[in-house]
Structure 1
């Protein structure tokens, strides 16, 4: 690990913490982006609270997406579920075919405003990366290794959990990393249906033509996405014993 990436990570983390913990210290920086005496810093709700709510929403949705996609991905790579692969792929792709805004428009009349419709949209939108990388990872496991495990007396479930999934883990983690980053940005639209998150800052800026608010919300989301992507890359390297090639 070289010094430059470490310094970049620490710098990004420091900037993020400063933005959410001491936002008023950035008032001189953002004041030039305001007009007609508009406030340079969003203060209607604590930026720290909005950031924590945003992270909670993203991680909850990504966890559900990962569990569902992993389960379906495993099922369709087994002989008993192979025939369901086209149908499963078509269903998983629904989240990508329909934009999250359209999902929100459908979900709100059914479940109301707030966090629930946003969770539904994020879960659907985050299925595809984990689903596809799970299938690819399991298919790329060397059949010789699987046969060797069978020869050692391991049953189908033991081979799956003890051999196939560990070998497929790098690709599965890549899919989870993509899901987290996708959901980090997409979650901002949840504020249009009263879900608490950083989208509140961006939308307030758009409604009041306050570029400072838009930049604050966008910068925090971008820093979170970069740090989570980088953190997942490091986690992948730690769990698999090698550094990611990304």
Structure 2
């Protein structure tokens, strides 16, 4: 067991302990609060907000992954190659419009709450996943794909048994990037009444309570690092299983 792994476990344990018993950590944030100000966020449950924040991000990333991977598969097939420029333009929509602008456009249609935030995160997460999937599917070793054809595999069999498994580490790298971006971006969802950790940060800014701001930012930051490291570990494991670690490392 590596030192880095142990450190991550300790950080995760501390995060869980803080979310379950935040008052036990009041001494850490006390210097950041002004006299007579509450030290620990008291306008909601930190654990509930964190779980809701993660659920929104997870839902958006699942849909973004399905759409982005589907588009990449389509344009790498002979019958769909002509749709590559259109698919790339669609994937770029989220990067063209900042999330705040997407929220502003979505609220009149979807109303306040979680829905506009999901739309913003979905659009913002498309491009990294699409481009990585495209790269993974178009840079496969020719010898491998030719061997699959020589074995008599159909196009669907080659996709499911050869192409996607080999491209999976690269696809996962795109998902990792989109997820980390979404974790931070989801905080702005609280401006349209979505229940995210942005509530904590906004409450701190409105009341000039730096302790609240630090708590919201710290939870989001720790989650981003832990999820990034976790997905990186899975990516490395997949690369070893498919024999790509040496070639790409």
Whether contact under 8 Å (1:69, 1:128) holds in the other structure is: yes
Calculate the TM-score normalised by the size of structure 2.
0.94
* Partner Cα separation in structure 2 for residue 239 and residue 196 of structure 1: 35
Aligned to 2:62: 63
Aligned to 1:37: 36
Calculate the TM-score normalised by the size of structure 1.
0.96
Aligned to 2:234: 235
Alignment of 1:169-180 (within 5 A): 169-180=168-179
Aligned to 2:129: 130
Deviations 1:80-134 (A, max 9, x none): 1111111111111110111100000000000100000000000000001110000
| Unmatched segments (≥5 aa) in structure 1 | none
The structural deviation recorded for 1:239 is: 3.2
* Partner Cα separation in structure 2 for residue 143 and residue 175 of structure 1: 23
Tell me the number of residue pairs that the alignment of Structure 1 and Structure 2 aligns: 245
RMSD: 1.5
| Unmatched segments (≥5 aa) in structure 2 | none
Deviations 1:54-100 (A, max 9, x none): 01001000010000000001111111111111111111111011110
The structural deviation recorded for 1:14 is: 1.8
Aligned to 2:72: 73
After the TM superposition, which of the residue ranges 10-19 and 171-180 deviates more from structure 2? 10-19
After the TM superposition, which of the residue ranges 170-179 and 232-241 deviates more from structure 2? 232-241
Whether contact under 8 Å (1:19, 1:220) holds in the other structure is: no
Aligned to 2:187: 188
Alignment of 1:191-202 (within 5 A): 191-202=190-201
Deviations 1:138-192 (A, max 9, x none): 0111122111111111000000111111111110010011111110000000100
The structural deviation recorded for 1:136 is: 0.3
The structural deviation recorded for 1:19 is: 1.8
